C-alpha cells in the first residue's frame, strides 16, 4: 500500500472531494464561520474544484474544511489565508499536519512490521546452522589450537590464499648461488576477513533478533525515539548480517573438496617440518578430524543480507526521517 492510499483510507486525503458527506452546495460563503478545522486535503487530476470561499472553480488542489455544524466546505490555501486570516490558517494547517504526521507513523509502523517477515523466516530456518558452525569452529580451535591458529593467521595474512613455500637457489655457479623462498598458491578461501568472527556468530545473531523484537515493539510504542533507535539498529543489523554471510561463505569454502584435503596436506607438511628430528611419525590427517567435527557438506543458506535488502525497511525508515515536516500548504499548491 502506498502512503497516499493509506491517507485516503484514513480520510486525510481524497481525490474525489465532491463525494464527501455533508458537503455544502456550490454556494459561496456569505460570512465567516465561527469554527472551522481542516479535515483533509484533496487533489483533482482533471477538473478545478468549486471553492466555497471565492465562489468559483479555481483549485485542483485544496483543503476540505469541517464546520462546527458538521458541514464540509472546499477551498484553496490562498483563499483560506485571505478569508480566515494567518492565525487561523496557521493553527488549522498545523493541526492537519500533526494528524497527517501521526498517520505517517502508523503507516510506516505497519509497513516495517510487515517487512520484517523475510528476516524472521531466515532466523527461524537457519539459526541452528549458524549455532552449529560457531560451536564446531570453537571445538576445532579448542582441540587443535596450535595448528589451527597457524593456519588462520596464514590465511588472514595472505588474504585467503594458502601458500606452499620452498627454497630455491639462483645463480650461475656454486659460489654465486643464493637461496630465496618461492611461494606457490595452492588454494584460496573466500571471505578470510570473517575468520575473526567465526566463534562469535551467536552475538551477531542476537543483534538481528533484537532488531526484529524492536520492529515488533514499535507497533505498540510509535515514538520518535523508537524510530530513531530503529534506524541505528538497522545499520548494526546489516553489518551483523554481512558478517554472518561472510562466516558461512568462508566455512563452506573451507570444507569443500578438494580444498579441505589440500588444507590437511598443508598442515601435515607444517607439522613434519617442525618434527624433522622424529624418525617414525604417523600421519595426523587433521582434515578428516575437522570434517568429523563440522560435518561434511556444510549447508549454504540464502544470504541474510539479501533477506534484509528484500524488505522495504530502509526505504520506510528514510521516508519517515525525511518527512519530519509535512507542509500542508505546499501540498495544496502542487499540480
pLDDT of 180 over the 70 cut: no
At residue 335, the pLDDT reads 40
- Please write down the HEC assignment for all residues of the chain: CCHHHHHHHCCCEECCHHHCCCECCCCCCCCCCCCEEEEEEEECCCCCEECCCCCCEEECEEEEEEECCCCEEEECHHHHHHHHCHHHHHHHHHHHHHHHHHHHHHHHHHHHHHHCHHHHHHHHHHHHHHHHHHHHHHHHHHHCHHHHHHHHHHHHHCCCEEEEEEEEEECCCCCCCEEEEEEEEEEECCCHHHHHHCCCHHHHHHHHHHHHHHHHHHCCCCCHHHHHHHHHHHHHHHHHHHHHHHHHHHHHHHCCCCHHHHHHHHHHHHHHHHCCCCCCCCCCCHHHHHHHHHCCCCCCCCCHHHHHHCCCHHHHHHHHHHCCCCCHHHHHHCC
Dihedral in degrees, nearest 10, Cα atoms 104, 110, 111, 112? 100
Q: Would you list the domain boundaries of the chain?
A: 3-110+328-333, 117-310
pLDDT band at 325 (very low <50, low <70, confident <90, very high): very low
Query: What does the DSSP 8-state code read for residue 144?
Result: S
What's the start-to-end Cα distance of the chain, in Å? 22
Q: Is pTM, for the whole model, over 0.75?
A: no
Where helices occur in 181-285 by DSSP H, the ranges are 201-218, 224-254, 259-274
Q: What percent of the chain has pLDDT over 70?
A: 84
Q: List the grid coordinates of 203.
A: 552475538
Task: Flag the least confident range among 125-129, 182-186, 214-218, 306-310.
Answer: 214-218
Q: List the grid coordinates of 71.
A: 458541514
Decide which of 102 and 11 is more confident. Answer: 11
Q: How many angstroms separate the CA atoms of 325 and 98, rounded?
A: 9
100-155: pLDDT as tens digits: 888 887 787 777 777 788 888 899 999 999 999 999 999 999 999 999 999 999 99
Q: How many angstroms separate the CA atoms of 139 and 33, rounded?
A: 79
Amino acid at each position: 500500500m502506498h502512503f497516499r492510499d493509506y491517507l485516503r483510507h484514513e480520510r486525510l486525503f481524497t481525490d474525489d472531494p465532491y463525494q464527501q458527506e455533508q458537503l455544502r452546495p456550490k454556494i459561496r460563503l456569505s460570512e465567516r464561520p465561527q469554527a472551522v478545522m481542516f479535515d483533509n486535503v484533496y487533489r483533482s487530476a482533471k477538473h478545478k474544484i468549486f471553492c466555497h470561499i471565492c465562489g468559483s472553480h479555481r483549485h485542483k488542489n485544496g483543503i476540505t474544511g469541517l464546520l462546527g455544524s458538521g458541514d464540509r466546505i472546499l477551498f484553496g490555501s490562498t483563499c483560506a489565508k485571505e478569508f480566515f486570516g494567518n492565525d487561523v490558517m496557521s493553527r488549522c494547517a498545523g493541526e492537519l499536519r500533526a494528524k497527517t504526521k501521526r498517520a505517517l507513523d502508523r503507516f510506516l509502523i505497519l509497513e516495517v512490521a510487515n517487512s520484517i517477515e523475510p528476516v524472521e523466516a531466515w532466523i527461524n530456518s537457519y539459526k541452528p546452522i549458524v549455532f552449529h558452525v560457531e560451536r564446531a569452529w570453537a571445538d576445532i580451535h579448542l582441540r587443535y589450537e596450535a595448528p589451527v591458529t597457524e593456519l588462520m593467521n596464514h590465511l588472514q595474512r595472505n588474504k585467503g590464499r594458502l601458500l606452499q613455500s620452498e627454497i630455491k637457489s639462483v645463480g650461475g655457479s656454486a659460489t654465486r648461488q643464493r637461496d630465496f623462498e618461492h611461494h606457490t598458491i595452492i588454494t584460496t578461501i573466500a571471505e578470510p576477513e570473517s575468520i575473526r568472527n567465526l566463534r562469535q556468530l551467536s552475538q551477531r545473531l542476537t543483534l538481528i533478533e533484537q532488531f526484529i523484537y524492536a520492529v515488533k515493539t514499535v507497533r505498540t510504542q510509535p515514538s520518535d525515539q523508537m524510530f530513531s533507535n530503529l534506524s541505528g539498529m538497522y545499520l548494526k543489523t546489516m553489518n551483523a548480517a554481512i558478517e554472518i554471510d561472510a562466516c558461512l561463505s568462508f566455512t563452506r569454502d573451507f570444507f569443500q573438496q578438494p580444498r579441505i584435503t589440500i588444507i590437511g596436506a598443508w598442515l601435515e607438511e607444517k607439522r613434519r617440518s617442525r618434527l624433522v628430528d622424529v624418525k617414525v611419525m604417523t600421519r595426523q590427517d587433521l582434515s578428516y578430524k575437522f570434517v568429523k567435527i563440522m560435518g561434511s557438506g556444510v549447508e549454504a543458506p540464502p544470504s541474510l543480507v539479501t533477506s534484509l535488502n528484500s524488505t522495504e525497511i530502509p526505504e520506510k525508515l528514510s521516508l519517515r526521517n525525511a518527512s519530519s515536516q509535512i507542509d500542508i500548504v505546499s501540498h495544496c499548491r502542487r499540480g
